């Protein structure tokens, strides 16, 4: 962000440069489903958008996904957001619908833009429908 000098006669240049660093993309359903995960069979799907906030990007990801069967102790990638390619600084994931077990977690994968499901429950979890709300903060 460009600093504004209170003694500067014309503040338009630094203000305009700062506001150029802000913007939003439209919501899109451009999601790549992986390893048996798929669009929800009841018509729901994952939508996402990117908001550029100066030096950071905020990705808002929300929707239903039909998750695959996950064996005990298994972690598998389930979907990828193609536009999410920057270094991830923070992720907040909330399960809004589709509770399966206390030991089932959605998290960011080691692969850029990809999210994985992990099963720590000690037993296989059969395919289920879940709705997530995810916020990701990345470098711009």
The pLDDT of residue 121 is above 60: yes
DSSP three-state, residue 132: strand
Neighbours of 100 (CB within 10 A): 17
pTM: 0.80
The pLDDT of residue 4 is above 70: no
The pLDDT of residue 115 is above 80: yes
Are the beta carbons of 39 and 73 closer than 8 angstroms?
no
d(CA 37, CA 90): 24
**Neighbour-count burial of 25, counting CB atoms closer than 10 A to its CB (0-12 exposed, 13-18 middle, 19+ buried):** middle
């Amino acid at each position: 962000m460009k600093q504004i000098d209170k003694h500067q006669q014309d503040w338009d240049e630094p203000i305009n440069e700062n506001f150029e660093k802000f913007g939003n993309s439209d919501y899109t359903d451009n999601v790549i489903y992986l390893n048996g995960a798929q669009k929800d069979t009841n018509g729901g799907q994952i939508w996402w958008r990117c908001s550029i906030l100066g030096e950071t990007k905020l990705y808002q990801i929300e929707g239903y996904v039909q998750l695959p069967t996950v064996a005990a102790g298994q972690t598998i990638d389930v979907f990828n957001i193609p536009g999410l390619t920057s270094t991830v600084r923070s992720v907040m994931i909330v399960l809004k619908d589709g509770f399966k077990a206390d030991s089932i977690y959605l998290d960011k994968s080691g692969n850029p833009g990809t999210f994985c499901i992990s099963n720590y429950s000690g037993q296989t979890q059969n395919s289920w429908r879940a709705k997530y709300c995810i916020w990701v903060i990345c470098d711009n």
